[in-house]
Chains A and B, each alone.
Chain A
C-alpha cells in the first residue's frame, strides 16, 4: 500500500527558508522520514512547515516535529508550523505543541 502521507519541499521565493508541505495522515509510519527531512532542512537554515493538507497526526509524528523544534532552537534557526486544521489543530493544541511552536 502507498504511504499514508506526502512530504513536499521547496525553497521560499526569497531563498530565506525551506518550505515543507506535509499532507495526508502522519502516524508512526511517517515519523522517521519526517524527522530526517526536518533535520536535513534545518541544516540549510530556517524551516516553515505547512500542515494545510494534513488530515491526521499522531503522537509519534508530533514527536518528530517537537524534536525538530528543539534542534532549531539550539542552532538557532527559524521554525514555524502553519495552517494546522481540524483534528490536527486540536492535537497540537491539546498536546501543548501549538503553544511550544509559538501559536
Chain B
C-alpha cells in the first residue's frame, strides 16, 4: 500500500472531535465484559500474532501485527477502565486517546483486518484478538470513523433492507424470473413452513444461480420451506461495520420472519459472517434462546446426505476446499462441507494448512468493499493462490459467497487460471435423478 493510501481515512457526520473520541470509547466498552477485560490484561507483547496474520505475512509491515490494530483501545482500557486506571493516569503511563490516533487506526481496524481470527489461535496467552477488533469497530462505527464504502453499504442495508440493493421488490422480481427461467418452484411468503431459507446479497445480485440451487436442493430433500420478504437477507453489514444497533435490526428481521412462519430451522446461505451473526450472536441479540435451529446450508446438506435424502451423482474430479473463516475456524462447521464433498465422490486435496488454520481469502470482515484496500487485498490473495495451486486440485470450492467474490476479483486481477466454485451450486448441479 502506498503512503498516500495509508494516510487516507473517512469520517461520517459532523461531530466535534472530542465527541467522536467519547463515542468511540463508550461504544467500545458497551459490550465489554469479563472476557474482554481478561484478554486486555493478558498481552505480554510477544508479537507472535503477527506470524498468523496474512496481512503481516505478505508485507512484513509490523503495523499489521494484530494486537497493534487495537492499540488505541488497549491504551484507553488501561487509562480509563482497568482496575489500575487511576495509577496509569497518575503516572501518565498511558496518554489519552486522540481523534487523530483513531483516524490513523481506521486502516488497521478495517482495511487490514478480516476478523478471520487466525491470530487468536497463535496467541500463547489465549487472547481472542479478533473479538477485540470487533469491539473496537463498535467504537469506530459510533464515532463515525468507518471506511466510507463499508459504511455506505451498511447504511443502505439498514435503510433499504439490503446492502447491495436487493430490496424486497428486487428479490421478489428475481425469484419470479429465476423460477420461470429455470423452471423451478420457489415458494415465497408461505405463512407456515418448517424451513426458512435466507440468501446473501452477493448471491442475490451476483450469483443468482445460488437461489435456484437452494430451491432445487430443498425440493430434492422434500423440505417444507419458504423464502419470506420480511426476512431473506442474511448479509449483516451492521456487524461488519461495527454498528451494533444496525446489526441488531438486521438480525431481528430474520428472527422475526422465522418465528412468524413457525420455522423449525433457519438455513443460512453461503455467507461467512452471516453464520457468525445469527448462529452464534442471534440468540444473544434476541435475549433468549432462539425457538428454531440455525444451520449453514452446508450443514443442512450434510444432514440430508447422512439421512439419505440428499442423493448425489459422483463428480469424479479433484477438489480443494477453502474454509470460510467465520464458518470453519470461528464457527465450528468444519466437517459438514467435507461430508458433502465426499458424497459427491470427489478427490479432496486439503490445503496446507487447512480447516481451522486455513488462510483467509483476504476479503472478509468487510475488507472486499473497501476500494482503497484493493492493492493490499490483492497482495494477500497471492498467498491463497499459491496455497491452492500447490494442491494441484482441478477445482477450488468454498461455501461463502463473499470468499467467492474475493476469489473472482483476485482471479481477474492476476489472470489466474482457477475459478472458485460454490459447494451449493455443485450439489444442485449433481442431484441424482435430475438433469444438471
- A and B interact physically: no
